[in-house]
Amino acid sequence: MSSTKHHPPTLHSQENHQRYHHYLPPPPPPPPPPPQGFFSRLLHALRTHPRTLLLSSRLQHLDQFLGSPYHRLLSHPFRMLLSTFKLLAFTHLFLEHVLSMAPASGPSMLPTFEVVGEWLVVSRFHKYGNGVKVGDLVVYQIPVSTSGELGVKRIIGMPGDYVLVDTPMVGGGTVEGDVLGGRGGPGEGDEVMIQVPEGHCWVVGDNLTASRDSRTFGPVPLALIRGKVFAKVQSNWLPTLIRNPLERVELEEAMA
């Protein structure tokens, strides 16, 4: 009768055993739990929908055609939609609160602006009349417009200032405005002045004879100011800064 001898494991066999276990593949991860709740199930259905998988596959092919750095963006349609939403939100905030551009049209601001073909660069930091003063060009919502139409005019009076209601004529005389009602023809009325009320400003076009402004609809509330024009872009795409022509007058009066 033979007997089997059990030898204790040697150090070499233990190392082989550890090395063998080192090359074993890791166990598969447990399956994800089923989605709970309506929105979780909806998101899971969208991610696993055949059309979503097809769109993801096509975006990956497009990504291979374009190459990096579009890989992370195009490889996932939801990530692309989220990035597009962020870009649109940033653009809206920038145009609403920082800078915006609008085309100039009409003869009311000649010769400062051409009738057509120029774009105005508007600073949104001056919305609601913040930091504006006499001589500035502002974009404002016309008070008598029911469709929210915007206009561009120059501020002539701030709250508490006295302004001339009628339009001065070359060679003397005035053309009466409509604020106090028509009282006669050119040069037949007195030079009527009114005080701009609090919270309002008085705006007038540079081309007085072809402008509908505060002489027609009265003082404009500062809350209707949408920004300050500080530059214009001509047809050759060269920007030109617009300076306040009344700042030099104020400086000369202060130095006198």
For residue 174, the cross-strand partners are: 168
DSSP 8-state assignment for residue 88: H
Residue 123 carries which side chain, given as an amino acid letter?
S
Task: Pick the catalytic residue from 123, 127, 153, 211.
Answer: 153
Query: What is the C-alpha separation between 36 and 226, in angstroms, rounded?
Result: 48
Residue 211 known to be catalytic: no
Q: How far is CA 28 from CA 35, 65, 169, in A?
A: 20, 34, 91
Residue 108 known to be catalytic: yes
Measure CA 157 to chain center: 28
Among candidate residues 143, 151, 184, the one with its CA nearest the CA of residue 166: 184
Among candidate residues 153, 135, 133, the one with its CA nearest the CA of residue 143: 153
Query: What is the C-alpha separation between 112 and 135, in angstroms, rounded?
Result: 13
Catalytic residues: 108, 153
